């Protein structure tokens, strides 16, 4: 049986995230909690030496999730902080929603503590992996 809430990150994504973290400090006002949480994720996640399965959320994946208990569906793409653009639903991996979703599988139900306290869980409905360039 597949553990839908297991945290899995590709070695490529882990290297990218490690490089981003190395350029930041926990003293930076924009992301002290995000820096610590992402560093912890990298330490505890199962690292996959090859491409992630098609249903696992990695960097640049498009994800559709439902906010619970409200039932609001959203589709976003998890991106490097420099590529974030809310108007295009491109969410930085430092954002609370992205940190909750990164490394999860379609079907996962992830408890969250978001700025919007009315949302207490995210249900991953669909994952469209990043398009890799040849």
Please give the Cα distance from 77 to 63 (Å, whole number).
Answer: 6
Q: In this structure, is the dihedral angle defined by the CA atoms of residues 48, 50, 53 and 58, taken in order, positive or negative?
A: positive
Round to whole Å and give the CA distance between 101 and 82: 19
pTM of the complete model: 0.81
Closest to 60 (Cα-Cα) out of 112, 18, 106, 98 = 98
Q: What is the pLDDT of residue 64?
A: 97
Q: What is the mean pLDDT of each run of 10 residues along the chain (134 residues)?
A: 74 87 61 76 85 88 95 95 92 90 93 85 93 50
Dump strand ranges (E) for 2-83.
Answer: 8-10, 46-48, 62-68, 72-79
Please state the φ and ψ torsions of residue 132, each to the nearest 5 degrees. Answer: -85, 135
CA–CA distance, 67 with 74 (Å, rounded to integer):
8
**pLDDT of res. 24:** 67
């Amino acid at each position: 049986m597949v553990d839908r809430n297991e945290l899995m990150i590709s070695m490529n994504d882990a290297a990218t995230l490690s490089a981003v973290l190395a350029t930041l400090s926990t003293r930076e006002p924009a992301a002290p909690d995000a820096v610590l949480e992402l560093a912890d994720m990298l330490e505890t996640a199962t690292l996959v030496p090859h491409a992630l399965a098609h249903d696992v959320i990695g960097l640049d994946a498009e994800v559709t999730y439902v906010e619970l208990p409200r039932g609001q569906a959203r589709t976003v793409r998890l991106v490097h902080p420099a590529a974030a653009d809310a108007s295009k639903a491109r969410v930085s991996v430092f954002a609370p929603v992205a940190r909750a979703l990164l490394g999860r599988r379609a079907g996962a139900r992830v408890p969250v503590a978001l700025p919007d306290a009315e949302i207490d869980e995210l249900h991953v409905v669909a994952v469209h992996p990043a398009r890799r360039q040849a």
